[in-house]
Amino acid sequence: MMKKMLSFVFAVMCFVVTAHAELKVDIIAGAAEPIPVAIQKLETVGNVSSDDAKMIREVVENDLKSSGLFRIVSHDAFPEFVEMGEMPNFKLWSAIKTQVLVQAKLSAESGGKYDLEFYVWDVNGKEQIEAQSLVSSKKSVRRLAHIMADAIFERLTGETGYFDTQIVFIAETGPVHNRNKRMAIMDQDGFGMRYLSDDKTFVMSPHFSPNMQTIVFLSFRNDDPMVWTLDLNTGEQRRLGQFGGMNFAPRFSPDGTKIALSLVKNGITHIYEYDIESKTLKQLTFGRSLNTSPSYSPDGKKLAFNSDRSGNQQIHILDLETGKEKRITYGAGRYATPAWSPDGKFIAFTKMADDTFYIGIMNPEGRNEKILAGGWYMEAPSWAPGSRRVVYYETEKALDDIERISHIRTVDITGQNVYDIELPDGINGVEPTWSPRLP
């Protein structure tokens, strides 16, 4: 069951100071030098836990560092401590090659709340470029840190932050030939992993609804593979419907009113669209080929999917308004598991060629293909908000065919800055899906 964190009241007051000389990170070049960022120790006011203040600083630093776009300046190198309300000595900070300085203060408020205030300084421009105040329950202090990191990331890159997000995935335990598969959820940095399903039911392919209230997934209950939904607030699970055949690979539409899925009837697999309100099912693909892995475009007007109608797996686009289809992949090998980016500019995919699996991206026309990662087995790309990073899983080849380890990793669209999400000991992570920004 999803903890109450998603429904807590979060008040945000923002005060933004416009800079005269824009400080922006070069996020296009894959080999761009990371921006040096110094984050001071938090000032504290009132009944503030020192552990909470320390944790906020560490989380913000780790978030920014994990993006690959920022280098955290060593605390030992700091030339001074600048109290909130005072002007930094920019010469001192420039001397240690710091480009961004962050000050923060954590205050205890009545009603068990924290007020986190922070300033961001452009050292070279000698001016303050961001100032915000965030208020939340003390129980949600870690979210305060992620939201602070998002604000800094967005101010310095101009892109949507993705640190205040979660990842749902399948947690595997046990020997390779008898794996236990449970649905689990965690923060995007791996913190707070918890199970969403028991160890008695085989589950696969979890995906978030756009409003983060529901997860749709495949469940093998009584050896009957069917699509189910999980309410994250109540923990209630419901079967999607009685469709008269095996159904799998579910995915929500961008407005959350429909679910695309694959359904097997008479030995043929086609993609259907289920209307949640009317509880009706509409067939979208036809013919004798296998069609699966649907992914909506951000505007909900098109659907990417993979099909073997050309002889092997390739990615096709279906226009939901006209019903017209077109194949977009023609490279060597097989293509599968398309995932449309939130900004609509890219489609991520899995590619299989020369006994190697790859994670890549291309534009919606199938052009400008770029490989981001390759290995013995990797699959299931999913996008972070902002379309800057992709999460996927990679499985190592088992030398003894007994111990096979699967990692959840993220990589940015330059193919650089690969980041491993650390899981608890003994847990292998597969089929990750990145959430939208938390409500």
Tokens 């990191």 correspond to what residue?
149
The two beta strands, 35-39 and 70-72, are: parallel
Output the pLDDT for position 398. 73
Residue range(s) of every CATH 3.40.50.10070 domain in the chain: 4-157
d(CA 150, CA 129) in angstroms, rounded, equals 15
Residue range(s) of every CATH 2.120.10.30 domain in the chain: 167-434
Residue 108, beta-bridge partner list: 114
Q: Which two tokens stand for residue 189?
A: 């940095």
- In the Cβ-directed half-sphere of 146, how many Cα atoms lie within 13 Å? 19
Look at residue 217 and give its three-state secondary structure: strand
Q: 270, 291 in Cβ contact below 8 A? A: yes
Domain covering 4-157 assigned CATH 3.40.50.10070 in the classification: yes
Which mean pLDDT values do the consecutive 10-residue runs of the chain (439 residues) have? 36 38 55 89 96 98 96 98 96 98 97 96 97 96 97 96 98 85 97 94 94 95 88 94 86 97 93 96 95 97 96 96 96 95 98 96 97 96 97 87 85 94 95 95
Q: What single letter denotes the amino acid at residue 65? A: K
Output the pLDDT for position 28. 52
Q: Which of 250, 216, 187, 162 is nearest to 408 (CA)?
A: 187
d(CA 415, CA 360) in angstroms, rounded, equals 9
- pLDDT by residue (tens digit) across 161-193? 999 999 999 999 987 777 889 999 999 999 999
d(CA 306, CA 30) in angstroms, rounded, equals 29
Output the pLDDT for position 242. 79
Output the pLDDT for position 331. 85
Domain covering 167-434 assigned CATH 2.120.10.30 in the classification: yes
Q: Which two tokens stand for residue 332?
A: 């060597």
